[in-house]
Amino acid sequence: MPDAAGSSEARPHAFWLASRGAQQMDLADRFSRAARSREVRVLALKGISIVEELYGGAESRPMADIDLLVVDTGRFELAAEIARSLGLMETGASDHALVFKETGSGVVLELHASLTACPGLFTVDHEAAWARRAPVVGASMFRLSDEDLVVHLALHTAFQHGFVAGEYHYRDFLRALETFKPAGDLVMARAREWGALGALGAMAVACRKDASGSPAESDRLRRFQPHCPKAVRRWLEAQPHMPPPMSLWSLARMRFELAPSKWRYVGQTVLPAPIPGRTLPRPGVMKRLAALADAGLFSPAPPRP
């Protein structure tokens, strides 16, 4: 453990994280301003939206990339065009996000058409989320409201990643509860509205051992936990440690259990709709199924290296 002044290794690392965070915030600000000039609304998601409020700066909360939700889904192609106009290069895509990279800084920007994979599976009203928005501290951007943020953090870790997430994913959820102190009833009402009550309960179960122990935080977690699906609770309790090792089989199982519509989830996973604005080649159905099979999706065996 470093002493109060910090080790010689920790200080340069913190400086690098702060410098990197400044580059990420700069790109997020520049894109937000450019989008605003074209009347495209965006909301900051995850790390970039809370790094100042919950951690006091990027030196205490590293971010792999920056994530922005395009509120105006019908104008998503224009948002992608704005990214390219800023000199960003498209490097990848999924069913719900386009990935861009700034060549000079190496900063990665993800433009989201929805909060999670399988767009539309969770019934998130973008207009209502925008109406409830909150300012991002230290930036000219907006983020999700406190209640929306908590539900999205649960969805992101539980559904999107199947609990195979970094320590900050769990810490973000707990710190948001402790710092923002959203009313438990409002959080559960939002989760119910979105079809994400199971994900909220599952996240509460996954975080039960890491809670700070404050009465308010513990009370919220206890209220959320009963909504965790029984199969997911059994799976979580069977894990020797968190996060568990990566397995496409486990990811598919978690998503299936947490999906508000099982059949829609299966259909969107096997045959995902193309995301607007994508220019990179998209693999065909058979190639996608073959890749999933090779990665172990259809077998509970451990994934290959």
Question: How many structural domains compose the chain?
Answer: 1
Neighbour tally for 260: CB within 10 Å: 15
For 68-85, b/e burial (b = at least 16 CB within 10 A) is bbbbbeebbebbbebbee
Assigned domain for 302 exists: no
Given a cut of 60, whether residue 211 has pLDDT beyond it is: yes
Percent of the chain clearing pLDDT 90 (strictly above): 68
- Asked if residue 199 has pLDDT above 50, the reply is yes
Query: Which DSSP string corresponds to 1-39?
Result: ---TT--TTHHHHHHHHHHHHHHHHHHHHHHHHHHHHTT
Pairwise pLDDT comparison (300 vs 15), residue with the higher score? 15
6 confidence band (pLDDT: 50, 70, 90): very low
Rounded distance between C-alpha atoms, residue 217 and residue 240, angstroms: 24
**Spatial strand order in the sheet of 108-112:** 88-93, 97-102, 108-112, 66-70, 42-45, 142-143, 134-135
Residue-level pLDDT at 184: 93
Write down the H helix ranges in 181-247. 184-194, 197-206, 215-224, 230-238
Identify the pLDDT of residue 293.
61
Q: Is 81 helix (H, G, I), strand (E, B) or coil?
A: helix
Is the previous residue joined to 226 through a cis bond, with omega within 30 degrees of 0?
no
Which helix (H) or strand (E) segment holds residue 195: the answer is: none
Domain carrying residue 252: 11-295
- Across the range 153-177, mean pLDDT stands at 94
Distance CA 46, CA 77 (A): 22
Q: Could you tell me the pTM of the whole model?
A: 0.89
CB burial of residue 274 (10 Å; 0-12, 13-18, 19+): exposed
| pLDDT exceeds 90 at position 254 | yes
300 inside domain: no
pLDDT of 286 reads 63
For residue 303, name the pLDDT band (cuts at 50, 70, 90): very low
Read off the pLDDT of residues 125-141 as tens digits, 9 standing for 90 and up. Answer: 999 999 999 999 988 99
> What is the average pLDDT value for the chain, to the nearest integer?
88
Res. 287: pLDDT tops 80: no
Residue 221, pLDDT > 50, answer yes
Residue 105 lies in a domain: yes
Q: Looking at residue 17, which CATH number applies to its domain?
A: 3.30.460.40
Total residue length of the chain: 305
For the segment 49-91, what is each residue's pLDDT rounded down to a tens digit?
Answer: 999 999 998 888 889 899 999 999 999 999 999 999 999 999 9
- Structural domain includes residue 301: no
pLDDT in tens, 87-128: 999 999 999 999 999 999 999 999 999 999 999 999 999 999
pLDDT for 5 beyond 60:
no
Residue 215 maps to a domain: yes
264 or 287, greater pLDDT: 264
- Does the pLDDT value for residue 295 go beyond 60? no
pLDDT at 19: 86
Element housing 278 (H / E): none
Return the minimum-mean-pLDDT range out of 162-176, 252-266, 283-297. Answer: 283-297
Band of the pLDDT at 281, cuts 50, 70, 90? confident
How much is the pLDDT for 297?
57
